[in-house]
Structure 1
Amino acid sequence: MSEPDLFPVLGLEAVADYRHQWAALAVRPHPTVAADAVLALLAQPAPQAALAPLECIVPVADPLALDPEQTALLPAARFVLQVAAATLQDAEVRKRCYALADQGFRLLVEGEAGLHASQSGARGIAHGAKGMPSMLSLLSLPGPHWAHDVEDMARFTACRDAGMHWFSGPYARRRTAEADNGTSRKRLLSLLGLLAQDADSRELETVLKQDPALSYHLLKLVNSAAFGFSNPIHNFGQAINLLGRRQLQRWLQLLLYARPQQDGLPNPLLPEAARRAAQMEALCKLQGGDRDRQDLAFVAGVFALLDELLAMPMAEIVAALTLDPDVVSALLDRTGPFGALLALVEQPVPDPAAIAALGLTREQFWDSQLQGWHWAIQVSRTI
């Protein structure tokens, strides 16, 4: 590029409630991006439409640095401002935070809140992986209280039982794999293989009928408002004919993640797989990939979590499938054209140099992020 690309670079992380339903998005700005720039970007019509109805949690290092004229024009109800407890020692900061709360922004205090939290108009506590907020802090504010960087399900349970409401971190991808016998796992891999080989619809039907959970989710999906068919769809033949092969294949790939969990709650891997797949497809299109290449990029994104879903090594899974070599190299080693894209969409905070290395502008990458998150939000509400 002839001029520096100064477009803000942001990472986004899903924040879920205790039932693993997405409740908000935590914003992870690149260190060079100021809070004012983050708020201005997220307030634009495209992000507002793409990320609705989720609120965005934005870290604010210095509330006094926020431009009052700009914040007055923002859709305050869509933002949660995360401020450090230490900054509230300053009376001017408390006064500014209270004014922001009065405008409609929700404030979360990072760390032990104390008396200054309520004096600042804060609503809840944000707390990291270690320790736990005091019961007094949790009870003195209405919430929601957010536990971030939650490592595993044991920590999730402890935070939930202590009174936290929102959760984020790797715990969602470290749940104990559901009990599954060899027959079910073999059937699942057979279905993946048939999809990859573009098998005949009747072959797919035969396998689907052997898996009641997948059968249920597919028919529930095609009869949902997302597709708007006027007449009920009762069998797989109808579903295949009405959806079309390409659309059906994509939804089946995602429905693999909709298998019931031991605790009956939604599988948190589902929306994340959808997000990766849709963003991979968008990035491939931006690079000039045709429809077939976009489909392969989508497959690489949606299959990238199968090792965690099935609790199996990725090499073993890939060996059971017939996949394009570029998809295989992406899944196994994060190499090749799709591997570079996959590695980028997996980063918590995107690397501007990696974006440029792929021949993309930061704004183009942001557009791909919005497409990925928007589709994931739709999927999480449909399946």
Structure 2
Amino acid sequence: MRELYLTRFPMFDAEGNGAGYDISPRETGKDQEWAPDVLFSTLTGPDLLPYLDPDSPTFVPLTPEVVGPNLLDFLPAGYPLVLELEAGDLLARGQEPPFAGTSGLIHEHCFATALRVTRADWEALAGRRGEEPPCTGWDYVVISAEDALDGLGPGHFPGLAGEILVRGVTTPADFEFLRQGGFGLYEGTFFADPMDLSVQALSPGRAGAIRALNAVLRDQVVALPQDYPDLVLRLLGLLNSPVFRGATKITSVERAVVLLGYRELSRWLSLLLFMGDTDEYQPSLLFREAYLRGALTERLMQRVGLPEEDARGGYLAGILAVLQALLRQPADQMAAGLDLGDHIQTALSGRSGPIGEALSVVERLRRSDWLESDTMVAGVTLPVTTLYSDESEVTRETIDDF
């Protein structure tokens, strides 16, 4: 039985607000079909539950051969699940659009439905449909950003009850263009680049938080109360808030280090970067993605045997690579302006050096790219299965921690 690794990607609406999650299965080869027994056991077992959010829709891709009462009766209830199938698979199995039998069966079990459609699928659907539009009865349609940019859009899907999810949006410019086209949901890495490349001044609070995070990652917290008193007050407020779920009241940074350690303290300091000036400590989808990229970059650097200080620098680089979208300032310029070190700046500006290489691999993973072969970081080979396993494990850790 092959292993199936799961990872999770945030989805956003046209305003850039978090709208849900997209689960992606990872296997060892791009062209291998998913084994039904592996898929079934994963989707009905305890491995799936940490990836689901009771408050946000979660898109779960399925293969037609596993869709049936045997699966649907065992999927976890109480979650807004969207079960996603490929139109091409349904056509290949002899079903006729609008595939009412499949969508109806899923709806009977109180789940929503999504139909993944390529341009070639749409042409086949258009040529075979009867009186009913090919998406009647489906709640969502999922299309690639490439097809959307090539003109496949809302007008091609009459009868669709809900939204179109565009998957694989990679640049702010594409996001803006597609938003004007009336699409409702987006998944991709467009948020990992600044939406506005004009440099804006960092607020003193944010600049101080980034410098403080860099200091904590280097095990240097002695100067924090003197240099960043306002930040320390906010940090202590966060550590004593319900979201932290701590049993012991923390009254000083030194006490926090004793109770939590530098690594744990850096996690919560990272959260402050994404909170702005509010004291509402609920982690956002954007923060979770930033933390995941930072933690995964750090883990890859540890795997290839790089020094711990460099690995922690990878964590900071991964955080900044997503934070730039929120602050509307390129990450490499932030690193240079805050004097975070040449190794972090070069990693962010050209994805060079060990940190840059590790960050580049992480970004490929988070673009849903298939890795055709083993990759290298700092001259050390990392097997594809190791990368997928690490991504899945860090995804779960992120969900558990935040």
TM-score between the two structures when normalised by the length of structure 2: 0.67
| Partner of residue 125, structure 1 | 141
Is the 2:8–2:21 Cα contact (8 Å) retained in structure 1? no
Is the 1:189–1:321 Cα contact (8 Å) retained in structure 2? no
1:117-165 Cα deviation digits (max 9, x unpaired): 34xx522333554464259947x62x46534455546457657xx683x
1:187-245 Cα deviation digits (max 9, x unpaired): 455435544554343x212343345xx853x2443123454333544655554454333
**Aligned to 1:353, what secondary structure does the other structure show?**
coil
Show the 5 A alignment for 1:34-49.
Answer: 34-36=33-35, 39-40=39-40, 42-43=42-43, 45=45, 47-49=47-49
1:269-313 Cα deviation digits (max 9, x unpaired): 422210112223333454466765653443343243455446146
Shift of 1:24: 1.5
Choose which of 74, 87, 96 in structure 2 pairs with 1:91: 96
Is 1:274–2:291 an aligned residue pair? yes
Partners of 2:299 and 2:389 lie apart in 1 by: 8
Partners of 2:242 and 2:358 lie apart in 1 by: 32
| Partner of residue 251, structure 1 | 268
Is 1:167–2:186 an aligned residue pair? yes
The residue type equivalent to 2:224 in the other structure is L
Shift of 1:181: 5.7
The residue type equivalent to 1:91 in the other structure is E
Choose which of 341, 347, 364 in structure 1 pairs with 2:358: 341
Show the 5 A alignment for 1:302-313.
Answer: 302-305=319-322, 307-308=324-325, 309=327, 311-312=329-330
TM-score between the two structures when normalised by the length of structure 1: 0.70
Is the 2:217–2:309 Cα contact (8 Å) retained in structure 1? no
Partners of 2:202 and 2:61 lie apart in 1 by: 45
Cα RMSD (Å) = 4.6
Question: Which structure 2 segments of 5+ residues have no match?
Answer: 126-131
| Partner of residue 391, structure 2 | 369
Cα 1:70–1:283, aligned 2, differ >3 Å: closer, same or farther? farther
Is 1:321–2:339 an aligned residue pair? yes
Is 1:81–2:84 an aligned residue pair? yes
Partners of 1:168 and 1:303 lie apart in 2 by: 20
Partners of 2:400 and 2:178 lie apart in 1 by: 25
The residue type equivalent to 2:318 in the other structure is G
Is 1:205–2:225 an aligned residue pair? yes
Cα 1:320–1:354, aligned 2, differ >3 Å: closer, same or farther? farther
Partners of 2:233 and 2:84 lie apart in 1 by: 43
Is 1:283–2:300 an aligned residue pair? yes
The residue type equivalent to 1:317 in the other structure is A
Amino-acid identity (%): 19
Cα 1:44–1:255, aligned 2, differ >3 Å: closer, same or farther? farther
Choose which of 238, 245, 249 in structure 2 pairs with 1:221: 238
Is the 1:274–1:372 Cα contact (8 Å) retained in structure 2? no
| Partner of residue 20, structure 1 | 17
Partners of 1:204 and 1:223 lie apart in 2 by: 18
Is the 1:149–1:168 Cα contact (8 Å) retained in structure 2? yes
1:25-60 Cα deviation digits (max 9, x unpaired): 242766414355683474274641442337653456
Partners of 2:352 and 2:21 lie apart in 1 by: 32
Show the 5 A alignment for 1:128-139.
Answer: 128=145, 129-130=148-149, 132-134=153-155, 137=158
Is the 1:109–1:125 Cα contact (8 Å) retained in structure 2? yes
Is the 2:239–2:250 Cα contact (8 Å) retained in structure 1? yes
Partners of 1:44 and 1:295 lie apart in 2 by: 36
1:9-36 Cα deviation digits (max 9, x unpaired): 7775322356733622242766414355
The residue type equivalent to 1:204 in the other structure is L
Between the two proteins, the alignment pairs up a number of residues equal to 359
Choose which of 348, 353, 358 in structure 1 pairs with 2:373: 353
Is the 1:50–1:373 Cα contact (8 Å) retained in structure 2? no
Partners of 2:41 and 2:362 lie apart in 1 by: 19
| Partner of residue 108, structure 1 | 114
Partners of 2:291 and 2:25 lie apart in 1 by: 20
1:322-373 Cα deviation digits (max 9, x unpaired): 5484x55543433444433221111122414134885444443232112322
